[in-house]
Amino acid sequence: MRIFKFKRSLALAAVTALAATLLVTAPTVANAAPVCDGKVPVQTCGGATSDGAPYAMMVPANFNGTVYLYSHGYRPNIAIPAGIPVYGGYTITNTPQPGPNATVIGALLAKGYAVVGSGFARQGWNADSAIKTNVELVDLFKKQFTKTTKVVAWGESLGGFITQSLAEKHPDLFSAAAPLCMASDVTPLSTMAGDALWGIKTFFDPSIKGGNYSAGAAGYAEAMGDLVKVFTVIGTLQAAFAANPSTPAWPATSKVPDAIKGIPSRSALVMVALMAGIPMQSAHFDSTSAPAGLPASNTLSFQVAINPAFAALENVANAAALAVLATHDLELQAGGAIFDNTKTDYAARIAEEQFIWASALSGNSGTAGLLSVLAASPRAKADPAAAAKLKTLTSHSGKVEIPTILFTGVADPVTAAGNQQSVADKYATYWAEKWEAVKKAKGYKRPAYNQLVLWNFTPEKYTKYTAAGAPDTSVPAATGTNHCNFTTSQYMAIADLLAYASANGKNLSGGPMLTKIRKAGNMTYDRGYSAPRLKYYGDN
């Protein structure tokens, strides 16, 4: 038996990283004119839109007329008590964030661009209100800075969702947009979260509530309790994997039949990842590498069975905790339980993946055993009114008329690459319809293809091992993994592409575009590539 000692705990996306890169102190009187400090070479203005959302504007003295509107990502709408692993100590913040980080903002300002961003009035899933906030903010900015000629939108994660929505709904206000690592529509999002939580609950700890939280303080306590339990499960599995990666023990909280416990617990975790659509490559685990020095047969086993389990562990840890927070938030907004898997066929969901990850799932019999647990376990039922309300929230049509640039990591564990693929596919369909209409009208000029889809791929092999052969998770996350894991060069390449698209009414293309992304590094344009779309876009 090989025992691993990790150099440190698996890396988790930390909510504390949200504390925005910029702290702009500004009056927050709703709907008042911006208050500017008048500084040179960059003046900063603050204020609040009519909904009370604070905003920040930063405008260089040599403002060239183009402003970048940034939409920040998901921030929990509840405080998270200290002591809860990783997330503990978070307090709700609506600090405005006018760009991805200070370095990028500084670079844009130096080029003569202005930046603007809101902190939004409400945290949590706030796309519908944030869209209104941003529209108002653009108007305020233009009135304050009449030299403004172009507004481009960009944002990450939930902010990417908001950005795509702005591009679809308000082509009159924006000349280009770049949704980055964008979140999916809320129904698939809640399905992914629900499947992950329900899977963890079913296999590892049935006392996890996983949704249908009570109202008020009781519900808050239940969600926080779930967070603790999820992290306890993850921590227990991590210790078990480290002690015996081949056949790690099941957590004591698991209530699956003893016969099922003959299947390694790592396979159950892989099942959770596959059924939820969570990628099988993580920040530190490439689902390919093995430590040096193992016998050949053990090497292959590590490559195809053990490493993928570690990848699932690292990614599920990130996804499940966010699933608790998002589920609690969305239930509050919808007024009841939103996750429903009464009709979900998990065998169909993993029909293809079970061949690819056969060894990680402990073969056909392992897969069949795990599926039997899922089939026999009580399913979650949504409140019909709540589910219906959820469907009224903004979703993406993919129909855009302005140039848009999509970019994401192919192994993002929180906003799966399939989200970007879904929007890309919708746009492709929309474009095809437009082209058909042109041909029907005896026209010959193809409509412009105004969507540039870029991917951040993972390296071929990247799992690092210590001299003792243990996985080393202290090294930086590999490119293409983790949530919105972009470099400053990549942000700047996107910004440059936005500037071009804004100025020219179309995306940069051909050699100049390829050169631009090549210089940024780890940005791929490949129209032949298609990220696996999450199964629940098909609704099974």
Of the candidate residues 478, 492, 495, 508, the single one contacting another protein (CB under 8 A):
478
Nearer to another protein, 192 or 499 (CB): 192
Of the candidate residues 244, 301, 397, 466, the single one contacting another protein (CB under 8 A):
301
Q: Please, what is the minimum distance in Å from the beta carbon of residue 480 to another protein? A: 7
236 binds another protein (CB under 8 A): no
348 binds another protein (CB under 8 A): no
Choices 23-31, 39-47, 214-222, 350-358 (CB under 8 A): range interacting with another protein: 350-358
Q: Please, what is the minimum distance in Å from the beta carbon of residue 125 to another protein? A: 10
477 binds another protein (CB under 8 A): yes
Of the candidate residues 22, 459, 464, 503, the single one contacting another protein (CB under 8 A):
459
Of the candidate residues 149, 392, 530, 540, the single one contacting another protein (CB under 8 A):
530
75 binds another protein (CB under 8 A): yes
229 binds another protein (CB under 8 A): no
524 binds another protein (CB under 8 A): yes
540 binds another protein (CB under 8 A): no
Interaction pattern, residues 393-432, with another protein; x per rule: CB under 8 A: ---------------------xx-----------------
Nearer to another protein, 11 or 140 (CB): 11
Q: Please, what is the minimum distance in Å from the beta carbon of residue 421 to another protein? A: 11
Q: Please, what is the minimum distance in Å from the beta carbon of residue 442 to another protein? A: 28
Of the candidate residues 175, 212, 344, 362, the single one contacting another protein (CB under 8 A):
362
Q: How far apart are CA 226 and CA 432, in angstroms?
A: 46
Q: How far apart are CA 133 and CA 353, in angstroms?
A: 42
Choices 110-118, 171-179, 349-357, 428-436 (CB under 8 A): range interacting with another protein: 349-357
Of the candidate residues 4, 6, 10, 11, the single one contacting another protein (CB under 8 A):
11
Distance of CA 306 to the CA centre of its chain: 25
Output DSSP code: residue 454. Answer: E
Residues 27-56 that bind another protein (CB under 8 A): none
Secondary structure of 136-162 in HEC code, one letter for each residue: HHHHHHHHHCCCCCEEEEEEECHHHHH
Q: Check if the beta carbon of residue 163 is closer than 8 Å to that of residue 178.
A: yes
Q: Please, what is the minimum distance in Å from the beta carbon of residue 144 to another protein? A: 28
Please state, as a whole number, how many other Cβ atoms lie within 10 Å of the Cβ of residue 102. Answer: 11
Q: How far apart are CA 217 and CA 340, in angstroms?
A: 24
List Cβ<8 Å contacts ≥24 apart for 440-448. 448/506
As beta bridge partners, residue 451 has 404
Q: How far apart are CA 155 and CA 408, in angstroms?
A: 12
129 binds another protein (CB under 8 A): no
Q: Please, what is the minimum distance in Å from the beta carbon of residue 57 to another protein? A: 21
Of the candidate residues 225, 363, 447, 469, the single one contacting another protein (CB under 8 A):
363
Q: How far apart are CA 62 and CA 109, in angstroms?
A: 9
Of the candidate residues 300, 385, 437, 468, the single one contacting another protein (CB under 8 A):
300
347 binds another protein (CB under 8 A): no
Distance of CA 477 to the CA centre of its chain: 15
Nearer to another protein, 48 or 263 (CB): 263
**Cα dihedral: 310, 311, 316, 318 (round 10):** 110
* 115 phi and psi angles, rounded to 5 deg: -130, 150
| Edge-to-edge order in the sheet of strand 176-180 | 35-36, 42-48, 54-60, 114-118, 66-71, 150-156, 176-180, 404-409, 451-456, 524-525
Copy the structure tokens of residue 517.
């992304």
123 binds another protein (CB under 8 A): no
Of the candidate residues 366, 403, 418, 471, the single one contacting another protein (CB under 8 A):
366
Choices 354-362, 378-386, 395-403, 496-504 (CB under 8 A): range interacting with another protein: 354-362
Instruction: From residue 236, give the alpha-carbon distance in Å to each of 81, 93, 229, 518.
Output: 21, 32, 10, 42
- Using a 10 angstrom Cβ sphere, with 0-12 exposed, 13-18 middle and 19 or more buried, the burial of residue 393 is middle
Residues 245-284 that bind another protein (CB under 8 A): 280-281
CA angle 135, 140, 146 (to 5 degrees): 120
Choices 166-174, 223-231, 363-371, 422-430 (CB under 8 A): range interacting with another protein: 363-371
Residue with tokens 């795990």: 370
Q: Please, what is the minimum distance in Å from the beta carbon of residue 213 to another protein? A: 19
- Using a 10 angstrom Cβ sphere, with 0-12 exposed, 13-18 middle and 19 or more buried, the burial of residue 21 is middle
Nearer to another protein, 325 or 380 (CB): 325
Please state, as a whole number, how many other Cβ atoms lie within 10 Å of the Cβ of residue 304. Answer: 17
Nearer to another protein, 183 or 196 (CB): 183
